[in-house]
Structure 1
Amino acid sequence: MSTGWQQTPGQGGHYPPQQPQTAPLRPAYEQGAPPSAYHQGGRPGVPRTGWWRRNRWGLVLLLPVVALSLVAPVMQTWDLLWRGQERLPVSHDAAGWASYGGVKLRLVEISEEKTLPAYGGKTIDAPPGMRVVKVVLEFDGPGNALDACHVELESTTGEKFAARPEELDDADLGYFPCSFSEAIETTSTPRNAFAPSASASPEGSAAPSVSAEPSTSPSESAAPYPTASEDPATVHRWRTATYFVLPTSSYPAGVRVTKLTLLPEYVVFR
């Protein structure tokens, strides 16, 4: 009768017992079970649920968070682009004045120039083969309110030209076309020029008179003119000259004045 194990004679004729030989255990997928029945790090033969299925509710709740995180910067960018466009032109009064950024401004002159101001009080000829246009604007209000303005010239062909092009680098032109410091002509008037005297005059005596005539000074004065913020008792009116270069086939049709912090409002003169 077979007992499932073999005896090997040893010393003294004894046969020590031996364990029956059995096949080693193999993973479930090697024993014919499908691969899904075995998962690494777990128990063989126990099916494991997929990652997407186990986390499906967390993923569903995560979708609105991701959507909001994407929408916020998109809306901010759109708002900046929307505000950064010239969409709201400022209207003018009967005299041609437009109120923009706390300052009144109007177009005084658009002319074609053959000579340009140069350094040292001299003049130079305009570059040949192009049309040089001078735009004179007049301002009334605080002298530094529109320091960072941007002036463009519109042509009859619909093109826009920036001020102070590189073709005019040899000319003595200002960098701030709306600034009081770049004025070619200034007028300063006391705010109380037409107000009665603050001190009461004795009866029968004439009150001290205040001249209502504005004082005009050239921009080349050695002492800089105070801005309205430095001298609040004075109303300033000044003019600036801005130069542009156009091809000879184009003619000026209008002037645009913008300031980045005031967009979408802008001023256009035609």
Structure 2
Amino acid sequence: MEFKLKTLTPIWTGGVEGKCDRLHETGIIGSLRWWYEALVRGLGGYACDPTSERKDERCELNQEKFHKAIKDGKNIQEALNEQICPVCQLFGCTGWGRKIKIIMNHPEIQNIDIGFKGEFTIKFKELKKLTDEEKWLLNETLYIIDRYGTIGARCTLKPSDKPYYRDYGIVRVEGKPDVGELESHFSKEQLKNYLARQREKFEKQGRAMPSEWPDLRYFIFAPDNGLDPNEYKQLQRLEPEFLRGEKGKANKFASFKIKKRFWGYTKADEYVFNRVCKELKKKD
């Protein structure tokens, strides 16, 4: 799978001494995983939080249980489904190596204080064979980033009235991505049913998802509008504990000036989500 992209604002992935000397794989793959998690949850599936301090909220493949399941007649996919979420099956977790490696091709960064600007490619090299479901989800993840979201770091430092918060992370996918052929039997509904069944298994194990985890069903996208700091403060008052976040944590909304766009999310609560949507409609 290969995607050609063009930056509309600089991309920042960090580097030595706080300089963006190149596009770092860890910065890109971390961003891809975050959107992939939100997408899986949005389709009704379970996706863990690999950064959680709680062991029961992040996946780990117990090798003894895994090999016992294989010995008992289950195939590899069935044995994996019992222990680790669809996101960890692709991106890896303790006890299970990732299925993909990212290979990026881009020209030299001209200003390491600002970040990368220009055209580049992301190629997903298969370390383990991808399923059709994983190919579709990866392609959909890049579509969301292209049409509505952002990639890389420093994206959710805004909206802010601080002058040093530049626009970061907006890209455009150029041309038709090379995702390979999907089997004719593949369908989105089958994927949703598959994800729902696996989520039910995890819930029976006591692994329910907290409402604070990003879920695409509770995202708000405005690809042609911005959100200024005062408007964001109005939103924060609707749910201060969540939308305002914690000190040192990124905002739940990101807004951009150069390319009018904002995106954000609430916790998985219909009442809060609808209140935020109602407040935003006042902008129209």
Query: What TM-score, normalized by structure 1, do the two folds share?
Result: 0.19
Select the structure of larger CA radius of gyration. Answer: 1
Larger strand share, 1 or 2 = 1
Taking structure 2 as the reference length, the TM-score comes to 0.18
Larger relative helix fraction: 2
